[in-house]
Amino acid sequence: MKPDPLHKALADATFTAYREAVIRLPPDVLRAIGNAAAAETNAVARGEFENILKNIEIAEQHGIPLCQDTGVPVVYLTVPPDVPFTQDLYDAIARGVRRATKEVPLRPNVVDPLTRHNTNDNTGMGMPAIHVKPGKTLAVTVLPKGAGAENMSRTAMLLPSQKDQIEKFVVETVYLAGSRPCPPVIIGVGIGGTFDGAAALAKEALLEPVDHMTEYEQEIFAAVNRLGIGPMGLGGDTTALAVLVKKAGCHTASLPVAVNIQCWANRHATVEVKR
Amino acid sequence: MTGPIRLTTPLGDEVLRLRAGDRVELSGTVYTARDEAHLRMQEAGIPFDPKGAVIYHCGPVIGDGKVIAAGPTTSARMNEMEGFLIDKGVRAFIGKGGMGSTVRNQLAGKGVYLAFTGGCAALASSHMSLQGVFFEDLGMAEAVWIIGLERLPLVVGIDSVGNDIFAAAHRQADTVFRQYR
């Protein structure tokens, strides 16, 4: 069966957003990297920034992925009132992901968690991970999530009296991660909601602009950078580029906190479906 | 500040003069090897001349006979697997994130660990040409690819006299984090 024009357009938009995301970083992320590079005082760290900036330039020039780990597909979709919310939307997004895997090309990263059998097209068994919200337009955001940083992420169920332990938990997460998540990192923090909800918030926080940190975010940001892990764990002023916090209401007896670590390549792109 | 030190493979005693933090531009030939390739080399032998050779911890994306993307992978996974390569004459490892004290000790008086910036797959491939492959049956990511290098920008992470800038940064982080305990 041939897909109708709307779902074909959604598949095309997913493909375009995925390609854009793996090749070009969002402008706010580019500015944050540029500013951190200019302010860095450690000579080795400055060399790492030089490589990162050159890499960004070459990826853009040649239209090739910034990193060979092109991640797993995390997708955020807004659906306007006149578009029926059906399985067809999910199928269209999966088609876009399969096309991107073949044509960009992307590394096939999605495997069965136990047999480790690779599906070879970055879809299947619940992938892509799709988060849907009502909106004014039909718009698809792709956030390709690499494993190095994702693997260093953590969740904690703190006590309601441990509000002042949140900073420690974030700093500890970055400390334990060390060089492994390819710092300088962007840190998504989900506070509140439920056990699973906090993790979802932490990931969604990565989509927020990195250059509009609140006072609270800046405090945690400063604390993380005092660690001195530096770019790639070689030491330096820049361990993190931003801390982004998202909150949700939670049970009076709970304080869920989740930290989602993202490498310097905070890749995401949004494409609105033309109708 | 002086410019980067230029080195060409096969490497010799010049690596013993390198110090942690030195910037290096490496030309010549490197061999990619991750977990599976190390296991295979332990069983089947090293398929190239290891004397003065350089190993790159990398699972590249290869297409149309070219290196498309070839950033470094986490070297620490190979922490307990490098001894036999160093014994046979390998002089340097390239990767990201540094390596453990076993490798640091094995490199003493013999070789160095060179760090390449994680995530910089496009930059890496712009300095590379594909020359051949061993163990292709291991799959694209795990095969040993022979890659020609033209001035790849690196930094000495661990030198041959025991200096290790990853370990130094970790000690600093450790001190800072202790204030929360």
Q: Which member of B38, B57, B127, B170 is catalytic? A: B38
d(CA A206, CA A76): 12
Residues 6+ apart with CB under 8 A from A70: A22, A104, A106, A107, A109, A144, A146
Rounded CA separation A162/A156 (Å): 11
pLDDT at A137: 97
Tens of pLDDT along chain A (275 residues) come to: 677 999 999 999 999 999 999 999 999 999 999 999 999 999 999 999 999 999 999 999 999 999 989 999 999 999 999 999 999 999 999 999 999 999 998 989 999 999 989 999 999 999 999 999 999 999 999 999 999 999 999 999 999 999 999 999 999 999 999 999 999 999 999 999 999 999 999 999 999 999 999 999 999 999 999 999 999 999 999 999 999 999 999 999 999 999 999 999 999 999 999 88
- Provide the pLDDT confidence category of residue B148 given band limits of 50, 70 and 90: very high
Nearest to B30 by CA among B118, B95, B74: B95
Residue B1 has pLDDT above 60, yes or no: no
Given pLDDT bands bounded at 50, 70 and 90, which one contains residue B28? very high
| Mean pLDDT along residues B155-161 | 98
Quote the CA–CA distance of A185 and A265 in Å, as a whole number: 8
Give the Cα separation of B143 and A224 in Å (integer): 38
Handedness of CA A155, B172, A36, A47 (dihedral sign): negative
Residues of chain A found within 8 Å of residue B176, distances taken between Cβ atoms: 226-228
Nearest to B159 by CA among B116, B87, B90, B103: B103
Q: What is the ipTM of this complex?
A: 0.93
The predicted structure's pLDDT at residue A126: 96
Q: Tell me which chain A residue has its CA closest to the CA of residue B72.
A: A68
Q: Do A69 and B71 touch (CB under 8 A)?
A: yes
Single out the residue of B107, B113, B110 nearest to residue B155, CA to CA: B113
Q: What are the residues facing B164 on neighbouring strands? A: B158
CB contact under 8 A, A228 and B119: no
> Which structural domains are found in chain B, ordered by start?
5-180 (3.20.130.10)
CA A264 to chain centre: 10
Nearest CA-CA distance, residue A113 and chain B, Å: 19
* pLDDT tens, residue by residue, B45-68: 999 999 999 999 999 988 889 998
Instruction: Determine the residue of chain B that is closest to A168 in CA distance.
Output: B180
Average pLDDT over residues B114-143: 95
B178 touching chain A per CB within 8 A: no
**Position B141 pLDDT exceeds 90:** no
Ramachandran angles phi, psi of A229, nearest 5°: -60, -40
* Polymer length in residues for chain A: 275
Q: Enter the pTM of the model.
A: 0.95
- Neighbouring CB atoms inside 10 A of A124's CB total 16
Give the pLDDT confidence of B64-74 residue by residue, as tens digits.
899 989 999 99
- Taking CB atoms within 8 Å and a gap of at least 24, the contacts of B37-40 are B37/B135, B37/B138, B37/B142, B37/B143, B37/B144, B38/B78, B38/B81, B38/B82, B39/B81, B40/B135, B40/B138
Tell me, what's the pLDDT at A203?
98
What's the confidence (pLDDT) of residue A1?
61
d(CA B78, CA B56): 11
Is B172 in contact with A171 (Cβ distance < 8 A)? Answer: no
The domains of chain A are located at: 148-262
